Amino acid sequence: MKKNACIIGCFLIAQMGFAQIKINSNLGTTSLTNHTAFLDASISTTWNGSTNNGKGLLFPRVNLTTLATMMPTTSVATNNPNRFDGMLVYNTATGTSAIGAKAVKPGFFYYSNQSTNVNGGTWISVGDIGTTALGVVATVAAYTVLATDSTIFCDAATAPFTVTLPSPVGNSGKVYIIRKTDATDNAITFSPSIVFSQGVVVSSLNYVKTIRVQSDGTNWNIID
């Protein structure tokens, strides 16, 4: 995780002593007061001596299939009030991410975390932006549904797991589509349980099926 911290630290190296960043327009600038961007490292003949000598930012290389814990997990309100939401990394591995159980391949990913836990987010490929419907999630392990999700494809072929829905309180009218995609008898367990019909509560699903659930402000209800 120390390696990942470089993604923030690399921006601060230029003026660490002053806790400021120099900008392209004025090499002597040591104040950010009147600048929207805290860093401007665009090409400059002043910096590079030639328009042919570009400068790039080299990101830390991270294996998301083994990165299982975001650190630190203590004093979150002080150290990481955004819980790493929006952190950008370059992933080197192909497989399933250790956090969020998302399919990953080499390329840039950002961490989307709307939960109250630093490890409650999921990794989203930057390359999928604009090509994959927003809010569509495919998971092969236990998953905590986010407010930004819309459709969750669940593959329980390897083991049963739990789909944790947000509290129905405060989410009246919200709809999620959930589909069990594998053909095994392994069950998907819902937490909290969902209402099938009056007096009938469903806590698991163990066959291929698509359901839509909607909050009435008190419970999650199957609507079709």
Domains and CATH numbers, the chain: 1-47 (no CATH), 59-132 (no CATH), 135-224 (2.60.120)
pLDDT confidence tier of residue 132, bands split at 50, 70 and 90: very low
* pLDDT tens digits for range 20-40: 455 555 555 555 566 666 666
CA distance 192 to 219: 8
The single residue listed with the structure tokens 């698509």 is 210
The single residue listed with the structure tokens 């494809």 is 153
Mean pLDDT, rounded, for 102-107: 86
Q: Where are the beta strands (DSSP E) in 113-168?
A: 122-125, 136-139, 143-144, 151-154, 161-164
Q: Where are the beta strands (DSSP E) in 65-199?
A: 88-91, 95-96, 103-104, 107-112, 122-125, 136-139, 143-144, 151-154, 161-164, 175-180, 188-197
Mean pLDDT, rounded, for 78-101: 87
Query: 48-82 burial, b for 16+ CB within 10 Å, e for fewer?
Result: eeeeeeeeeeeeeebebbebeebeeeeebeeebee
Q: What pLDDT, on a 0 to 100 scale, did the predictor assign at position 64? A: 95
Which of the 8 DSSP states describes residue 165?
Answer: P
Q: What pLDDT, on a 0 to 100 scale, did the predictor assign at position 210? A: 93
Q: What pLDDT, on a 0 to 100 scale, did the predictor assign at position 7? A: 42
Q: What are phi and psi of 78, to 5 degrees?
A: -90, -50
Contact call for residues 93 and 125 (beta carbons, < 8 A): no
Q: What pLDDT, on a 0 to 100 scale, did the predictor assign at position 46? A: 64
Q: What pLDDT, on a 0 to 100 scale, did the predictor assign at position 34? A: 63
**Is omega for the bond preceding 72 within 30 degrees of 0, making it cis?**
yes
Higher pLDDT, 119 or 49: 119
Q: What pLDDT, on a 0 to 100 scale, did the predictor assign at position 130? A: 47
Mean pLDDT, rounded, for 128-136: 59
Percent of the chain with pLDDT over 90: 28
Which of the 8 DSSP states describes residue 13?
Answer: G
